[in-house]
Amino acid sequence: MVTGAGQINDPDINEIVSQLPLVHQNSPDTIMWRHPSGQFSVKSATELIQPPKDRVVWHGLLQGRYKIPRHNFILWLAILEKLSTLDKHWISRGDNGCVLCDGQYVESHDHLFFNCLYTRRCLQIVQRQVRFHWPLSGWQQCIKWASKRWRYEHLINAASRALLAALVYYIWIERNNRKFTATSSAAEYVARRVIEEVWLRILSDKFIPSLQTRTLYRIWKIAWPIGL
């Protein structure tokens, strides 16, 4: 961007410069690139011309070192309320009762996560085994809450994000099993699979001896390596 004119020969630029107030009377004119980096590049030019779009508030929920892609895909659909729940009349064609509880409640994202008796029980069993706070409110309010609560890249937060994704994934798998294969599992089984999968994901990550790791291992009941 031009802040003054020294040896500029372009008549259009000179006309513009002539209209500008003289703000630096005792210093020479300079040309500077008004980007935070101060350096011209194609990237910085693109950012100046087209500022980055606002990220959605839940963007961070799908990030983190313990993320499991297939879980995150289902969580992403759930956040967008794009799972094929039966509250959508073009999917249910009349029978829209939740297959996880007694069928008296309409299956919706709000109901499945976690107002359903069955999924609430899954959540409670998980909470008895690992520290996982979840506000029992509307699904979208909870997503906003979690996005803010777990926004920092702390190992505990990364594990909480992975746990939420695993819960949503296995609940959706159980729902599909009941609906399409007429098989069912107890809430204890679903909760155990959720915990096992995140537990294994944490264990398979590179071990870094730190206070964060020690806290995480204590919460997840993972034995601390002998000698460290």
Cβ proximity to Zn ion, 35 vs 120, nearer residue: 120
Peptide bond into 180 cis (omega under 30): no
* Nearer to Zn ion among residue 99 and residue 159 (C-beta): 99
Residue of 98, 125, 158, 198 that binds Zn ion (CB under 5 A): 98
Element housing 196 (H / E): helix 187-204
Closer by beta carbon to Zn ion, 98 or else 158: 98
Provide the 8-state DSSP code for 112. Answer: I
Q: Which of 141, 169, 157, 160 is nearest to 76 (CA)?
A: 169
Residues in 50-89 at the binding interface with Zn ion, rule: CB under 5 A: none
Q: Produce one character per residue of 40-67: b if its CB has 16 or more CB atoms within 10 Å, e if not.
A: eeeebeeeeeeeeeeeeebebbbebebb
Give the Cα separation of 179 and 49 in Å (integer). Answer: 51
Residue 100 as a binder of Zn ion (CB under 5 A): the answer is yes
Minimum CB separation of residue 207 from Zn ion in Å reads 40
Residues touching Zn ion, count (CB under 5 A): 4
| Closest separation in Å from C-beta 118 to Zn ion | 6
The residue (of 74 and 171) whose beta carbon lies closer to Zn ion is 171
Based on CB atoms, which residue is closest to Zn ion, 188 or 196?
Answer: 188
**Smallest distance from the beta carbon of 210 to Zn ion, in angstroms?**
41
| H/E element, 203 | helix 187-204
User: Which range in 45-53, 113-121, 154-162, 190-198 contacts Zn ion by CB under 5 A?
Assistant: 113-121
C-alpha to C-alpha distance for 2 and 15, rounded to whole angstroms? 13
Given 101, 164, 167, 195, the residue binding Zn ion (CB under 5 A):
101
116 in contact with Zn ion (CB under 5 A): yes
30-38, 91-99, 141-149, 176-184 -> range binding Zn ion (CB under 5 A): 91-99
Q: Please, which residues have CB within 8 angstroms of residue 112's CB and are 6 or more apart in sequence?
A: 83, 85, 98, 100, 119, 171, 172, 175
Residues lying near Zn ion in the complex (CB under 5 A) are found at: 98, 100-101, 116
